[in-house]
Chains A and B, each alone.
Chain A
Amino acid sequence: MSTLHLIRQSAFASNDFAQCLSVLDHRDSVVLMDDGCYNLKHSLMDSLIKRVGSVNINIIASHAQARAIEIITAVNTIEISDVVELTFTHNKVITWQ
């Protein structure tokens, strides 16, 4: 069973990202979107980056670019339309918002 996690809020303003990381399983995917893009600079991101390989991390390119956020190489850049495909390749979706 794999889960797609949609992260939509800033971890600097809410606890959602921390809660997501606590339930994250291997084979899961994470998508940083909307204010979730800010989490790229959060200290919690380090623990997530360490799990690359077992966990697939993505970010919506336009959402990051609009916020002047620099994307790091460990994270895949995708478009919002790619999220549709991801919902089909995972068993469940959790939206953290």
Chain B
Amino acid sequence: MTSIEQNSSASPQESVLAIINSKAPFSSSHGKDALDVALIFAAFEQKVSLFFQGDGVYQLMDKQDGSLLGIKDYLKTFSAFEFYDIEDIYVCQPSLASRQLDEDFHIDDVQVLSSIEFGLALNRHQHVLRF
């Protein structure tokens, strides 16, 4: 019996999907939608990288509690990223600085990048979705 293996069209340096998060977590469903898409792609073993830029950086900040707003807190699901092999998580440093935020995130292994590095990391991906 022969098995058919599908080769990934991505070169080793080029990842498949980048998801940019640009919205604050609680006032819209964008963050939740981005999370759902990321986990679906990851469940099908597609390499996903997450980018946090602008107000999207608020999604990563520690000590948040959506339950105070009567919202199911999807941010807690971020801790499942390692089980889904989502390892590349990038944050735009100038976005943190302009919001007077420390690098105090509720998940580990977040990479804080300068504007230039952030752009370079994004350009290593074949496809980009922005939420």
Chain A interface residue bracket vs B: 10 to 19
CA distance A64 to B129 in the complex (A): 29
Known contacts being A12-B54, A34-B27, is A67 close to B64, with CB within 8 Å? Answer: yes
Q: How far is the CB of A24 from chain B (nearest CB, A)?
A: 23
| Residue pair B55, A12 in contact (C-beta under 8 Å) | yes
CB distance from B15 to the nearest CB of A (A): 27
CB distance from A36 to the nearest CB of B (A): 9
Least Cβ distance of A8 to chain B in Å? Answer: 8
- Tally of A-B residue pairs with Cβ under 8 A? 51
For the complex, give the distance between the alpha carbons of A15 and B62 in Å.
27
**Residues on the B chain within 8 Å of A68, using CB:** 61-65
Binding site for A on B (CB under 8 A): 23-27, 54-55, 58, 61-69, 71, 98-101
12 additional contacts, CB 8 Å, given A13-B54, A35-B55, A62-B69?
Answer: A13-B55, A35-B24, A35-B26, A38-B24, A42-B99, A63-B69, A66-B64, A66-B68, A66-B71, A67-B26, A67-B58, A68-B64
Interface residues of A (CB under 8 A from B): 8-10, 12-13, 34-35, 38, 41-42, 62-63, 65-68
